[in-house]
Structures are given as structure tokens and as C-alpha cells.
Chains A and B, each alone.
Chain A
């Protein structure tokens, strides 16, 4: 016989959860007492509920297992919303348990009451309100099933306080299986459609494989790589898809889209066949006018979510299904296919691509007087970590530099908020990764703007002894905002600068009990970076002064074709 609170924690354990992120409060106290009374499920105390959701998110992205969050009612629940929305946009499996006022107080505007089911509704895959304690095991089972299957996403379980009352106990049994009659996600793709797609692929003269976050989340990286190499076709990844195809391979064109490489965007624009896998033709890829998107391409689109297919760009061959089995079947069909590839056309296509590559769109123009370019910092980071680190990022210029210059060869190593674009994501996400992989090198590439949105988590890192390396590209301004203001608003820097009120980040890190390293000369960049990463057991805040005038390029020209880009402050296509 267990109380509702005990059942909840026991059910998490039975579901395979050993770590949850949270913050206590009145309505969740029975649950917190249940945590205290057992040792199977560990709890990490964050310093703000938003960080709990991002940490669980980072844990989920790096491991593939669902992240779990526990918060209290009212402000605890609403603080979690940004992190839930972040996970929702990027399809991250997550279960968020929120305390709620007692059942009889719901609707009475009680202290710390908020309608969490209502507030979270647009940003969750599904949600449950526990009506009676006996339902807890089945609700937990269903919540994890929904969060982790189909297109994954966050699920909220709202738990009224009296349901977890330690004074009332019930028989407990965790269900072994679950079936929800109204929820049946696809488990494989349609073979006929796959056949049709393979025929078009094999006959392509100017093909591109465009793969997205779904390939990472759906564990399809291995099959993607095999398929691409079997076909010999160029591959580009979205921001969310980086690492699904090895970035150092010769068939890789780099990231595509708004800040994608010249060669990736040119190849997309001129392609005759696009194989889109686990990607959703987001506006950062297609630019604003979809009628100008890849005018000559036949589009083959694989996605587990039918609503992502033909949402913005019409797919000629839609394939609904999980990416891994679909890619596997495609690979088998390609291997068995009798269609002869047009070797001559493909050789000409690669020649064209090599010509685009010669433009070296990511070449770094060194700064004057030893000033450090932000891109050089990411290169130094890549060297210091041998390209093997888990990299989390915040949102802004530094995020794009990390995506462009850290060459991810493995999936689940690049962890960023691509869809919602949540500043403040990087540090808590890094906590989740480091807790999942205590011996791995975890670095958070951030900016002085983003890091201040969840800086309080330095305390959580101290409490949990997390040796994260924070690489702060400090340009003393909201760089991406400033870039847009430079390019589109006549250089009027409205509310994007604060140079005279920045904290001393090294001193701040030290105040939290961590180490700090300041780098402001290019000549010391590599050495100091290596020195910071040599401090294996410490969190090191690496504050790097970078050129405040730097912009991210290439940059798509709004409303244009994918082939239209700014390549620097003075050049455009």
C-alpha cells in the first residue's frame, strides 16, 4: 500500500527514471517527502524552474531518454512553461509533473493556483490532471508512452496536493503495457511510397539529402550515413540535424538555411531531387517566400508527423513513418535496385559543388590589432576538445558560430534550442548533459546576453560539482539583434547594448565557487583555452572578449531564393 506521492516516485522508478530535475513548493511537498524516503530516484535542485526543464531537455537530447521535471503549482508551473515550449518546438521527450492545489480548492483562486493544464495546453503534446490517486500508475505509464513515441514531445501531469496525501494509501501495481485507442503513431513507412522515392532518387542528376532534427531524435544517423554514402550524394543538415551526418566527411555540405553555407544553399537551390528526412521546411531553411524555394526540385519527404508534410512546401512523394526503419528500407531498396545512376551527371554535379566550395564562405578574416573573432574562439574550442565534446548553446550569434565552426561528427552532441530560440537554454542544458555523462567533456557556448538569463544555475553546478566549461563569446551587446539593426535599421542599436553594466564574469564565477579564465588577446586564445579544459574537475567560466562588430555570414536575403545570400558586409551573391 502506497500513498499517491509514493506511487508517483515509485512509478517513475518503474519507468526507468533515475534522475529528475525540480524545485519544491507547497503543493509539491508530499511528493518531495516521498523523494526523501527512497533512494532510487535522484533529484537535482535547480535555482529556477525554467532551468529544471532545460536541464531535463539537455538530458533527453543527449541520452535519447525522456527528461523528467518536478515543480510546484502556480509560479513553479508557469516558470516551467518556457522550457516546456522549448522542448515542444524541438520534439523532445519530457514529462513534467506539476503540483496543484487540493481538488476542492481548484477554481477558487487559491494561493499559488494556476490552471496549468490550460496554460501549458498549446505547448504540450498531451496533459493529464490526476483526479484520484489510484490513477497515478496508469497516468505515468501513458505519459511516458506519449512523450517518447511518435513525434516526441513534453507531457504534463498536474497533481492536486491532496491526491498525494501520505495519510491515504492504496494498492500499487505498475502496468506492464499500455494502449491508448485514440493514439497510434506510425511504426513503419509505406513500402510503395519508399519504392517510388527510391526510383526518383536513383535517377537524380542533381540530388541533395536534407536531413533534420528528426534523424537525430529518431536514431537514424547510422542509416542516413550509409544511405548517403551508398548513393554518393551530398548531404546538408539543418541546425537541429547537425551530427546526424559526420561533418568532416567529404559528402557533407555544412548547414543550410539562413546562416547555412554557400555550397549547401546553392546545391539546394539548383537541385533536381531533394530527399528531406526528419526536417520540416522551417522558415529558417526555406526563407520567407516558399514559392521561391528550390524551383526545380522533386521533393521526397520522410517524417513521422504527417502534419509536417506539405505544411509549407508541397512534397511530391510523402512518406509518413519513423526515420530509422524508413531509411533502413530505403537503403535495402537502393542496394537491390537495378536502376543505373547517371554517373556522368552526378560527376558534373559534384564538380559544380566543388566550385561553390572554392568560395570558402566560412573563411575567417583575421581581426586587426590582435582582436579575437568569435569564429576563432569556436575553432579553438574544437581544437581543445578534439571535436569530441558535447556542445550546448544559447541563442544568438554565438549559436550560429558554434553550428558553423564546430564540426559535429556524431549525433546528440550538439544541443541547442532551434525551434523556440530560447536564450538561457545553454547552461541548464549542459547540466543535464553532464549529469547524464559525468565523464564527458561538456561545453556551453554562450554570449554575455544569454548566459545572464539563467546565470543563477552556477549555484546548481556547484552543488552537483559539474565540471562544465562555459565559453562566453563576450561582444558586450546582444549581437544578433545588433546585426539585424546594422543591416535593416540603419545601425540604430535600440536596446541592444549594455557595455557599461556588464558584470565581471570571472569574479562572478569565482563568487559561486568556480574557476574563471579571461581571454582578450588572440595570441593567448589557444593556450588559455587548453588551460581551461585541463581543469577537468572544475567548472571554468571562459570569458572571451570578441570583436563586437562581427556579423554572422552567410546570411539569407529575406524574401529571396536560397541562392541569394550576403557573404560578408560587402559581398552578396
Chain B
């Protein structure tokens, strides 16, 4: 099962490599990873998606917690949550395709953020599933480049991940 784990950790050199190292060391998968400082510059928030059964996820959470730099973490998929990912996608847009690409982008509420006579760069935000759906919908066209940020997320409601 796919899980989204959000980690609050010390914004220190080496902290990220300890987290990433844990995954390769113990043969766990990382499907996506995103990390940046929080409103408190001494803390970074790292969010990753991984796949595993309950037993594996329990181990991942426990081992992440053992890392000295890790202050707190949450498995967002345990409760209701909001997840977002941003994608920039460059698509060939010539002739009849040009209007079609624009139409599909509109349906998905994507923004065309850069234009040349032969291509569009479209920005799209949403769940990973929605981003996947958009790529699917563009199958008839030529996709030149895809840049995705990986998933970020928060729990719904009053629950917060903070110190």
C-alpha cells in the first residue's frame, strides 16, 4: 500500500543523507521525496512516499524515529489528509495538436506557463493520481519533458506536525 510519511527533522548537514541512507540500507523503497526548511529555519520538513505492508511501514516509521536528527514524523495516509504535487510538463504543440493540448490542460486546470511556436510548458498541481491522469490524457501528443516535485502533504483538520 502507498504511504505518505512526513518527517520534521533538524536542518543540519547530513540529516537528509541519514534518512535516504536508511531506505537503501534496509531495502525499503522511496517513490518520491521532497524536502525544504519550514517556518522555523532550524527545522526541515521532508515528505516521502513509499510502498509496503503494515509491518514494513511500522519498521520504516520506527527506524526513521531512531535517527537522531528526526524530531517528529507522521504517516499521513493513516488519517484523512491533503496531498499535492506540482508538475511542469513540456509538450509539443503544433497544428491541430496545439488547440487540443490547451483544451486538455484547461480540463485539468493546468496553466500554460511558457509558450514557443512549437510547444507549451504546462504547470499542474494536484494529487499524484491527477498528475498521472494528465500524462495519460496527453498520450496522443509528444511529451518532451516532465519535472515533478514529489508529494507534499498535511493532515486534514486541527492535527499539526510541529514541535
A-to-B contact residues, CB < 8 Å: 117-118, 121-122, 125-127, 129, 146, 180-183, 305-307, 310-311
Q: A182 and B14: CB pair below 8 A?
A: no
Residues of A within 8 A of B21 (CB): 121-122
Q: Which residues of B line the A interface, CB within 8 A?
A: 9-10, 13-14, 17-18, 21, 25, 55, 58-59, 62-63, 65-66, 68-71, 163
**Chain B residues touching A, majority SS:** helix
The one of A129, A183, A306 in contact with B62, judged by C-beta atoms closer than 8 angstroms, is A306
Q: Are A307 and B59 in contact (CB under 8 A)?
A: yes
Min distance, Cβ B114 to any Cβ of chain A, angstroms? 35
Chain B nearest CB from A318 CB (Å) reads: 11
Q: A91 to B27, alpha carbons, bound, how many Å?
A: 22
**Contact (Cβ within 8 A) B65 A306:** yes
In angstroms, Cα B18 to Cα A121, docked, is 7
CB distance from A91 to the nearest CB of B (A): 12
A423 to B88, CA, bound (A): 54
State A126–B163 Cα separation when bound (angstroms). 21
B75 to chain A, nearest CB (A): 15
For the A-B complex, the count of residue pairs with Cβ-Cβ distances under 8 Å equals 35
- Asked if B17 contacts A126 (CB within 8 A), the reply is no
Closest A residue to B24 by CB, please name it. Answer: A122
Chain B residues whose C-beta falls within 8 Å of the C-beta of A127 in the assembled complex: 14
**In whole angstroms, what is the CA distance A380 to B66 when docked?**
44
- Determine the chain A residues whose CB is within 8 A of the CB of B55 once the complex forms: 310
Contact status B13-A129, CB under 8 Å: yes
B68 touches A122 (CB 8 A): no
A-B pairs, top 4 by smallest CB distance, nearest first, are: A182-B71, A307-B62, A126-B68, A183-B68
Closest Cβ neighbor of B42 among chain A residues = A181
What A residues does B59 contact at CB under 8 A? 307, 311
Instruction: Please give, as numbers and ranges, the residues of chain A lying within 8 Å of B18 by CB-CB distance.
Output: 121
Dominant SS among interface residues on chain A: mixed
Our pick among B17, B65, B68 for the contact of A118 (Cβ within 8 Å) is B17
CA distance in complex: A183, B69 (Å): 7
B103, chain A: closest CB distance, angstroms: 49
Residue of A nearest to B72 (CB): A182
Chain B residues positioned under 8 Å from A129 (CB to CB): 13-14
Q: What residues of chain A lie closer than 8 Å to B70, measured between beta carbons?
A: 182
Most B CB within 10 A of own CB, among A121, A125, A182, A311: A182
When distances are taken between beta carbons in the complex, the residues of chain B under 8 Å from A305 are: 66
B163-A181 in contact (CB<8A): yes
Residue numbers in A under 8 Å from B66 (CB-CB): 305, 307
Cα–Cα distance between A93 and B18 once the two chains are bound (Å): 20
Chain A: minimal CB distance from B155 (Å): 20
Chain B neighbourhood of A306, CB < 8 A: 62, 65
B residues in contact with A310, CB < 8 Å: 55, 58
Residue of B nearest to A126 (CB): B68
Q: Are A121 and B9 in contact (CB under 8 A)?
A: no
A146 CB contact (under 8 Å) in B10, B14, B68? B68
Instruction: Output the least CB separation between A352 and chain B (Å).
Output: 34
**Given A122-B25, A311-B59, A182 contacting B9 (CB threshold 8 A):** yes
Alpha-carbon distance between A121 and B25 when the two chains are bound, in angstroms: 10
Identity of the chain B residue whose Cβ is nearest the Cβ of A123 in the assembled complex: B25
Chain B residues near A126: list those with CB within 8 A.
Answer: 68
Beta-carbon nearest neighbor of B15 in chain A: A182
**Given A306-B62, A307-B59, A307-B62, residue A182 in contact with residue B69 (CB < 8 A):** yes
CA A183 – CA B9 in complex, angstroms? 11
Whether B68 and A125, one on each chain, are in contact in the complex, defined by CB atoms closer than 8 angstroms, is yes
Q: Is the CB of A182 within 8 A of B68?
A: yes
Are A121 and B10 in touch, CB under 8 angstroms? Answer: no
Q: A118-B17, A306-B62, A310-B58 are in contact. List 6 more A-B contacts (CB 8 A).
A: A117-B14, A122-B21, A126-B68, A146-B68, A182-B71, A311-B59
Q: How far is the CB of A236 from chain B (nearest CB, A)?
A: 26
Chain A residues within an 8 Å CB radius of B17: 118, 121
